[in-house]
A = this chain, B = another copy of it.
């Protein structure tokens, strides 16, 4: 008697791996014919009858193509690799979602490799390199690099071997195409919204002033003010740590610096965490949002923005869209098509809630 590890389990009866050979035998044709039918070759001439016989055999045997073997023989893996620190930082996980959805549409698989470093520059570049190396071993057809916050990065050299696109970051050496948020546009719409609500004296709670996000958003704010014939009062711009505490401290500074009549009537917080702190500072002083002070944030961190009371009006970072666009750009590159621009800006839309 033959041994059976799982008697009575029909899945165990079916051999470990049903191959094309088995299907061919079952259908009484050559393996080549099966291959032609399954890969739906246009110039192959197989009669309708044989075709259905083969398809039946596929069904009956529960044949499942072996993606690895297929990739080997066809020299196309249908895989893209994405290297990201996002796995460690849930903040921008939407990039992955966007990329994966788009990849799924393009019938491609996304291989996600973790990069444990916040910064790809510097001596400890080993980890990205390992991730990139691993991905190339899998013969990915293209590479994506995604960062948790908008900045310049250095990408391992071996990335040059396949088409590569950067998401939410840009190549410090200026060679690779990238997808980044339109920070300036975001800053503009935020301040436009405040102006539209009648606020002319606007305090800004700024991030570290050198990072691209701060530079762009502030520039946008200035543009919006300029259109209204106003200028940004440098005294009303306070930088702080990019945390709730930082926002609290900065808000206190701004709010306490002036007598009530000179006090700004709106705060533009350059991220939602700082807005969270600003809320506390405002409430502590017995002021209401948006009655006494309107607040607008940036980033649209769902957990914060949607749950603050009142809900925070903020500008969203288009992570999902950037992810999708990254894959689209990569598809174009791997297909040999020219890409539109080296750096693509993606809109940061205003999310109207209740704090303005």
A301 to chain B, nearest CB (A): 6
- Count of chain copies: 2
Measured in the bound complex, the distance between the Cα atoms of B244 and A145 in whole Å is 35
The number of residues on chain A lying at the interface, defined by a beta carbon within 8 Å of a beta carbon of chain B, is 51
Contact among B90, B139, B273, B303 for A68, CB-based, below 8 A = B139
Measured in the bound complex, the distance between the Cα atoms of B90 and A136 in whole Å is 27
- Contact (A307, B11) CB under 8 Å given A72-B66, A100-B87: no
- Contact (A93, B104) CB under 8 Å given A66-B137, A67-B139: no
Measured in the bound complex, the distance between the Cα atoms of B67 and A93 in whole Å is 27
Contact among B64, B87, B303 for A303, CB-based, below 8 A = B303
Measured in the bound complex, the distance between the Cα atoms of B11 and A283 in whole Å is 60
A160: nearest chain-B partner, CB-CB: B11
Contact among B67, B100, B280, B307 for A137, CB-based, below 8 A = B67
Contact among B9, B69, B88, B112 for A112, CB-based, below 8 A = B112
Contact B273 A307 (CB under 8 A): yes
- Contact (A111, B114) CB under 8 Å given A68-B77, A137-B67: no
Contact A109 B109 (CB under 8 A): no
Contacts of A137 in B (CB 8 A): 64-67
A100 to chain B, nearest CB (A): 5
Contacts of A64 in B (CB 8 A): 133, 136-137
